[in-house]
C-alpha cells in the first residue's frame, strides 16, 4: 500500500449551462487555495448551479469539510445551488452527519 | 509464416498424398484405377536441404521426372516408386506440397492437355491447401497457448494456497509481508510457524525454476520444513534435516535457497541459519547490519551443515527478509536494482513509514511504469516496536496489543496513521462501514494530536496503539502536549450557525470522531492527551436482522 499523499487538484468544466468542478486527490487544508480559485472561476459566468464532482477524491478530513462549508456559505450568499456527485458511501454518511446534505444536493 | 524449417506439416501432407489414402488424388490425371496397388506409393520423407525442393519451388509447372537432371536422393526414391510427373504446389512463392503421379495405365505419355489440367489443378489446390495448413497450425498454437495459461494458473494456485493467509500478530512487534508473483510464477515462498512456547519461525525461500515444477518443489519443501521445525528447535538443525529429506525428492539441477530465523518475541532474541539465500538486512541505530550465516542451498548435496548465528533485536530495529526478485529487477537501461541500493534505502527510510511500502515505491520508481516483472518479489519485515522489558500498562489490561507505532507530527501524516491502523485492523473488522468510520476517527484524532497537542513539533511524535479483544477493537492516540486540555463539551458544530457566520467553518474534528466510533474516551494529564477510540466487532444491526 502506498500512503504517499495525493496532490489536490480542481478543474472547472462547462457543459452547456452546467458548470462542474472536478475535484481530485485529498481535500485537506492544502486544498484551500486551489478549491477557492476553482470556485471563483466556476461562478464567474454568474450561473445558478455548480456541480462538485467527488468521483476522484480519496480522502476528505475535517479541514476539508470546513472548506466545503466555506464554499457552501459563499454559494448561498450568491444564490448558487450546489450539487455533489460521486461521493462514496462513507463520505455520504459524513455529509449527512454534518448536515451538509441539507444544503447540498447529493446525487 | 510457414517455412521449410518446419518439415512436419509437409511430411504429414506428403504421407497423406503418397500413401494409400491418397489414391483419388494420385489418380486425378490417369484413367480410373483398376486396382489401387498399381498406384499407391510408399511414404517418403524428403530432407529439407534436398535440391529437389529448391528446384520445385521455382519450376513453374509440371515437372517430368525422367528429364530431371538433379543429384537428389529424393528424385532417386521417387523414380524407384514409379513416379513420372511431379506437380509442385506453390503458394505465395513457397513450396507447400506436391502431387506425384505414376505412369498412365495405358502406358501412353501424358498429353499437353493432361499437363495443363494438372497445372490448373495445382494452382487452385495450392492456396486451399495453404489455408488448411495455416488453420491447422493456428489450432496447434492456440492449444499450446491455452496449455501454458493453464500451467500458469495451476502454479499460481499452488503457490497462493500455500502462502500464509495473514501475518502473525505479536505484541510489541510489527510483521508485514508482501508477495507479488511474476507472470510466470517463480518459486518464492515465505512462511511463519508459531510454536506453543510463543516463539515464531520466519522463513523466506526461493526455488530455482518457474511454473508448476517450482510450485511443486515449493510445496514439498514447505511441508518438510514444517515437519522438521516441529521436532527440532535449532534453525541449523531444521535446515540440515530439510536438506537431507529434500535431496532424494528434488529433480536434478533444482535447489532451494532458504533463510530460517527463530524469534523469541519476549526478549527479541533471534537465532538464524541460511541455506544460500539472499542475506537479510537489519536496520539498527548504527546503520544496516547483514545477518550472515554460511550454508549450501537445500537439495543440492546431502549431509550439509548449516552455521547458526544470533542477534538480539532492540526497540526500533527492523529486519528485512526478501527474495532476489527485488535485487535483480532491471530498469530500462538494464541496470540492476542491486544490494547496495537496497542497503542504502533501508538506511534512509523514515521511521514510522512501512519499509515494504517504501521499498516497493522505490522499486516502481526504478523500473518505470512499463516494467515486466522478471521474477517473484517477496518482502517480509519484522520490526521491534516497544521496549520489551516494560510490562503492559493497566490501560491495556484485558486487551491484546496488535501493534504500536509513532507518527511524526507533520502536515498530512494523519493519513499515514490511518493507513497503518487500517492495515492491521482490516482482518479484525469485517464490516467495511465500521472500518471506514474508524479510519476517519483515527485520522481526525491523529490530526488533533499533531496540531493541538504537539503544535506540529517534529520532536514530538504521536503515539498510536492498536488493541483488540474478542468483542472490540481499540485505538489509543496520544500526543505529548502539556497545557490546554481537550474539551469534549466545547461548542458543538452547527451548520446553520456556520453558514450564518456565527461559528467558524472549522471545528468538526472531535464531533466527527465521536460520531464515527462506538465509544470515545479522553485521558489527559499535565504531559499528554490520549483519545481512546473503541469499535465493537459485532455485525451491524442490519446484518443481525437478516
**Mean per-residue pLDDT, B17-29:** 36
B17 — pLDDT class (breaks 50, 70, 90):
very low
Chain A residues with beta carbon closer than 8 angstroms to that of B501: 73
Q: Least CB-CB distance to B419: which of A3, A66, A76?
A: A3
- Is there a domain that residue A2 lies in? no
Q: Least CB-CB distance to A5: which of B415, B437, B447?
A: B415
Question: Number of C-alpha atoms within 13 angstroms, CB side, residue B84?
Answer: 13
Provide the phi-psi class of B209: left if phi over 0, else alpha when psi is between -120 and 50, else beta: left
Query: Is the per-residue pLDDT at B391 higher than 70?
Result: no
B429 — pLDDT class (breaks 50, 70, 90):
confident
**Mean per-residue pLDDT, A60-89:** 93
Chain A residues with beta carbon closer than 8 angstroms to that of B444: 61-62
Instruction: Tell me how far apart the alpha carbons of residues B270 and B316 are, in angstroms, rounded to a whole number.
Output: 15
Residue A90 C-alpha cell reads as 462513507
Q: Chain A: residue nearest B516 by CA?
A: A94
- C-beta separation of B479 from B450 below 8 A: yes
Instruction: Tell me how far apart the alpha carbons of residues B378 and B400 are, in angstroms, rounded to a whole number.
Output: 28
Chain A residues with beta carbon closer than 8 angstroms to that of B423: 1
Question: Number of C-alpha atoms within 13 angstroms, CB side, residue B226?
Answer: 14
Instruction: Tell me how far apart the alpha carbons of residues B471 and B68 are, in angstroms, rounded to a whole number.
Output: 94
Chain B residues with beta carbon closer than 8 angstroms to that of A1: 354, 357, 419, 423
Q: Least CB-CB distance to B357: which of A1, A65, A102?
A: A1
Task: Please check whether residue B412 touches A, CB under 8 A.
Answer: yes
- Cβ distance of B495 and A97 shorter than 8 Å: no
Q: Which CATH number fits domain B7-138: 3.30.450, 1.10.10, 3.55.50, 3.40.50?
A: 3.30.450
Task: Please check whether residue A89 touches B, CB under 8 A.
Answer: yes
In percent, the amount of chain B with pLDDT more than 90 equals: 36
Interface of A with B in 27-86 (CB under 8 A): 28-30, 59, 61-63, 65-67, 69-70, 72-73, 76
Domain positions in chain B: 7-138, 163-384, 394-545
Instruction: Tell me how far apart the alpha carbons of residues B340 and B318 are, in angstroms, rounded to a whole number.
Output: 18
Q: Using one digit for the tens of pLDDT, what is the confidence trace for B204-237? A: 999 988 888 888 899 999 999 999 998 887 899 9
**C-alpha A72: how far from its chain's center?**
9
CATH number of the domain enclosing A62:
3.30.750.24
**Mean per-residue pLDDT, B107-124:** 88
Instruction: Tell me how far apart the alpha carbons of residues B163 and B171 are, in angstroms, rounded to a whole number.
Output: 22
Instruction: Tell me how far apart the alpha carbons of residues B44 and B12 are, in angstroms, rounded to a whole number.
Output: 10
DSSP B52-69: HHHHHHHH-S-EEGGG--
Query: Is the per-residue pLDDT at B518 higher than 50?
Result: yes
Residue B389's pLDDT is what? 44
DSSP B333-352: T--B--HHHHHHHHHHSPTT
Task: Please check whether residue B218 touches A, CB under 8 A.
Answer: no
Interface of B with A in 496-525 (CB under 8 A): 498-499, 501, 504-509, 511-512, 515
- Is there a domain that residue A3 lies in? no
- Closest Cα of chain B to A80: distance in Å? 14
- Is there a domain that residue A13 lies in? yes
Q: Chain A: residue nearest B434 by CA?
A: A90
**Cell numbers 455485525: residue:** B539
Interface of B with A in 2-21 (CB under 8 A): none
Instruction: Tell me how far apart the alpha carbons of residues A70 and A76 are, in angstroms, rounded to a whole number.
Output: 10
CA B215, B217, B219, B225: dihedral to nearest 10 degrees?
-140
Q: Using one digit for the tens of pLDDT, what is the confidence trace for A22-73? A: 999 999 988 999 999 999 988 887 678 899 999 999 999 999 999 999 999 9
- Closest Cα of chain A to B440: distance in Å? 8
Structural domain boundaries enclosing A45:
9-106
- Count Cβ atoms below 10 Å from residue A94 Cβ, excluding itself: 23
CA B351, B357, B362, B367: dihedral to nearest 10 degrees?
170
Instruction: Tell me how far apart the alpha carbons of residues B15 and B27 are, in angstroms, rounded to a whole number.
Output: 16
- Is there a domain that residue A65 lies in? yes
Mean pLDDT score of chain B, rounded to an integer? 83
- C-beta separation of B434 from B535 below 8 A: yes
| Helix and strand numbers, DSSP H then E, in chain A | 3, 5
Complete edge-to-edge strand list for the sheet that includes strand B200-207? B187-194, B200-207, B256-264, B269-275, B308-312
Residue B248's pLDDT is what? 94
Provide the phi-psi class of B366: left if phi over 0, else alpha when psi is between -120 and 50, else beta: alpha
**Mean per-residue pLDDT, B529-538:** 89
Same CATH fold assignment for domains B163-384 and B394-545: no
Superfamily of domain B163-384: PPM-type phosphatase domain (3.60.40.10)
Number of structural domains in chain A: 1
**C-alpha B203: how far from its chain's center?**
17
Query: Is the per-residue pLDDT at B524 higher than 70?
Result: yes
Q: For residue B500, which of A79, A99, A73, A25 has the smallest C-alpha distance?
A: A73
Eight-class DSSP state of B210: -
- C-beta separation of B327 from B278 below 8 A: yes
Instruction: Tell me how far apart the alpha carbons of residues B313 and B387 are, in angstroms, rounded to a whole number.
Output: 11
- Closest Cα of chain A to B478: distance in Å? 19
- C-beta separation of B282 from B348 below 8 A: no
Instruction: Work out whether strand A81-85 and strand A105-106 pair parallel, antiparallel, or are unpaired.
Output: parallel
Residue A46's pLDDT is what? 65
Instruction: Tell me how far apart the alpha carbons of residues B546 and B543 are, in angstroms, rounded to a whole number.
Output: 5
Query: Is the per-residue pLDDT at B541 higher than 70?
Result: no
Phi, psi of A51 (to 5 degrees): -105, 130
Least confident of B245-259, B298-312, B381-395, B438-452: B381-395
CA angle B167, B168, B172 (to 5 degrees): 120
Residue A36 C-alpha cell reads as 477557492
Q: Using one digit for the tens of pLDDT, what is the confidence trace for B146-204? A: 988 888 888 888 888 888 988 998 888 989 999 888 877 778 889 999 988 888 999 99
Eight-class DSSP state of A76: H
Q: Chain A: residue nearest B515 by CA?
A: A97
Q: For residue B420, which of B460, B463, B455 has the smallest C-alpha distance?
A: B463
Phi, psi of B203 (to 5 degrees): -130, 130
**Mean per-residue pLDDT, B330-334:** 85
Q: Least CB-CB distance to A2: which of B361, B444, B498?
A: B361
- Cβ distance of B361 and A28 shorter than 8 Å: no
- Cβ distance of A3 and B357 shorter than 8 Å: yes
- Is there a domain that residue A100 lies in? yes
**The CATH number of domain B394-545 is 3.30.565.10:** yes
**Mean per-residue pLDDT, B367-376:** 82
- Is there a domain that residue A74 lies in? yes
Interface of B with A in 356-395 (CB under 8 A): 357, 360-361
Eight-class DSSP state of B445: H
**Is the pTM for the entire model greater than 0.90?**
no
Instruction: Tell me how far apart the alpha carbons of residues B144 and A72 are, in angstroms, rounded to a whole number.
Output: 62
B41 — pLDDT class (breaks 50, 70, 90):
low
Amino acid at each position: 500500500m502506498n500512503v504517499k499523499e495525493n496532490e489536490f487538484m480542481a478543474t472547472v468544466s462547462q457543459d452547456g449551462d452546467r458548470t462542474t468542478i472536478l475535484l481530485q486527490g485529498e481535500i485537506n487544508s492544502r486544498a484551500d487555495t486551489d478549491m477557492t480559485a476553482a470556485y471563483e472561476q466556476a461562478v464567474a459566468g454568474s450561473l445558478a448551479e455548480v456541480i462538485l464532482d467527488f468521483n476522484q477524491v480519496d480522502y476528505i478530513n475535517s479541514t476539508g469539510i470546513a472548506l466545503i462549508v466555506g464554499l457552501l456559505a459563499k454559494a448561498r450568499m450568491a444564490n448558487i445551488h450546489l450539487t455533489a456527485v460521486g461521493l462514496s458511501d462513507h463520505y455520504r454518511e459524513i455529509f449527512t452527519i454534518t448536515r451538509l446534505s441539507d444544503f447540498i444536493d447529493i446525487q | 509464416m510457414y517455412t521449410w524449417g518446419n518439415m512436419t506439416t509437409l511430411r504429414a501432407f506428403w504421407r497423406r498424398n503418397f500413401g494409400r489414402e491418397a489414391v483419388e488424388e494420385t489418380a486425378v490425371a490417369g484413367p480410373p484405377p483398376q486396382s489401387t496397388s498399381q498406384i499407391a506409393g510408399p511414404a517418403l520423407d524428403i530432407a529439407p536441404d534436398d535440391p529437389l525442393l529448391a528446384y520445385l519451388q521455382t519450376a513453374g509447372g509440371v515437372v517430368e521426372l525422367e528429364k530431371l537432371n538433379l543429384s537428389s536422393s529424393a528424385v532417386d526414391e521417387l523414380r524407384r516408386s514409379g513416379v513420372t510427373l511431379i506437380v509442385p504446389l506453390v503458394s505465395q512463392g513457397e513450396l507447400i506440397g506436391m502431387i506425384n503421379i505414376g505412369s498412365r495405365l495405358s502406358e501412353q505419355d501424358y498429353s499437353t492437355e493432361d499437363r495443363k489440367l494438372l497445372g490448373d489443378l495445382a494452382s487452385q489446390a495450392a492456396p486451399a491447401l495453404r489455408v488448411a495448413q495455416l488453420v491447422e497450425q493456428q489450432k496447434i498454437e492456440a492449444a499450446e497457448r491455452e496449455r501454458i495459461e493453464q500451467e500458469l494458473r495451476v502454479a499460481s494456485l499452488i503457490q497462493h494456497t500455500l502462502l500464509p493467509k495473514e501475518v502473525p500478530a505479536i505484541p510489541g512487534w510489527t510483521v508485514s509481508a508482501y508477495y507479488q508473483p511474476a507472470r510466470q510464477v517463480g518459486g518464492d515462498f515465505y512462511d511463519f510457524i508459531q510454536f506453543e512456547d510463543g516463539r515464531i519461525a520466519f522463513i523466506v525461500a526461493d526455488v530455482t525454476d518457474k511454473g508448476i515444477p517450482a510450485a511443486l518443489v515449493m510445496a514439498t519443501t514447505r511441508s518438510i520444513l514444517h515437519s522438521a521445525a516441529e521436532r527440532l528447535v535449532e534453525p541449523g538443525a531444521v535446515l540440515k534435516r530439510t536438506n537431507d529429506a529434500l535431496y532424494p525428492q528434488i529433480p536434478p539441477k533444482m535447489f532451494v535457497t532458504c533463510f530460517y530465523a527463530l524469534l523469541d518475541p519476549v526478549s527479541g532474541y533471534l537465532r538464524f541459519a541460511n541455506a544460500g539465500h539472499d542475506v537479510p538486512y537489519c536496520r539498527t541505530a548504527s546503520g544496516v547490519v547483514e545477518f550472515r550465516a554460511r550454508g549450501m542451498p537445500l537439495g543440492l548435496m546431502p549431509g550439509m551443515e548449516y552455521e547458526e548465528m544470533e542477534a538480539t533485536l532492540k526497540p526500533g530495529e527492523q529486519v528485512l527478509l526478501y527474495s532476489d526478485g527485488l535485487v535483480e529487477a532491471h530498469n530500462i537501461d538494464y541496470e540492476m536494482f542491486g544490494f547496495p541500493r537496497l542497503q542504502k534505502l533501508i538506511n534512509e527510510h523514515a521511521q514510522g513509514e512501512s519499509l515494504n511500502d517504501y521499498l516497493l515505491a522505490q522499486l516502481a520508481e526504478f523500473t518505470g511504469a512499463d516494467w515486466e516483472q522478471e521474477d517473484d518479489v517477496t518482502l517480509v519485515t519484522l520490526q521491534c516496536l516497544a521496549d520489551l522489558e516494560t510490562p503492559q500498562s493497566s490501560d491495556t489490561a484485558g486487551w491484546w496489543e496488535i501493534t504500536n507505532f509513532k507518527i511524526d507530527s507533520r502536515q498530512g501524516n494523519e493519513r499515514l496513521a490511518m493507513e497503518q491502523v487500517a492495515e492491521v485492523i482490516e482482518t479484525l473488522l469485517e464490516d467495511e462501514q465500521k472500518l471506514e468510520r474508524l479510519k476517519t476517527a483515527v485520522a481526525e484524532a491523529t490530526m488533533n494530536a499533531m496540531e493541538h497537542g504537539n503544535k506540529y513539533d517534529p520532536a514530538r511524535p504521536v503515539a498510536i496503539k492498536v488493541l483488540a479483544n474478542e468483542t472490540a477493537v481499540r485505538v489509543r492516540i496520544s500526543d505529548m502536549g502539556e497545557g490546554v486540555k481537550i474539551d469534549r463539551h466545547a461548542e458543538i458544530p452547527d451548520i446553520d450557525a456556520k453558514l450564518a457566520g456565527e461559528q467558524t467553518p472549522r471545528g468538526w474534528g472531535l464531533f466527527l470522531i465521536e460520531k464515527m466510533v462506538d465509544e470515545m474516551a479522553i485521558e489527559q494529564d499535565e504531559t499528554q492527551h490520549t483519545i481512546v477510540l473503541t469499535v465493537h466487532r459485532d455485525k451491524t444491526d442490519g446484518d443481525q436482522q437478516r
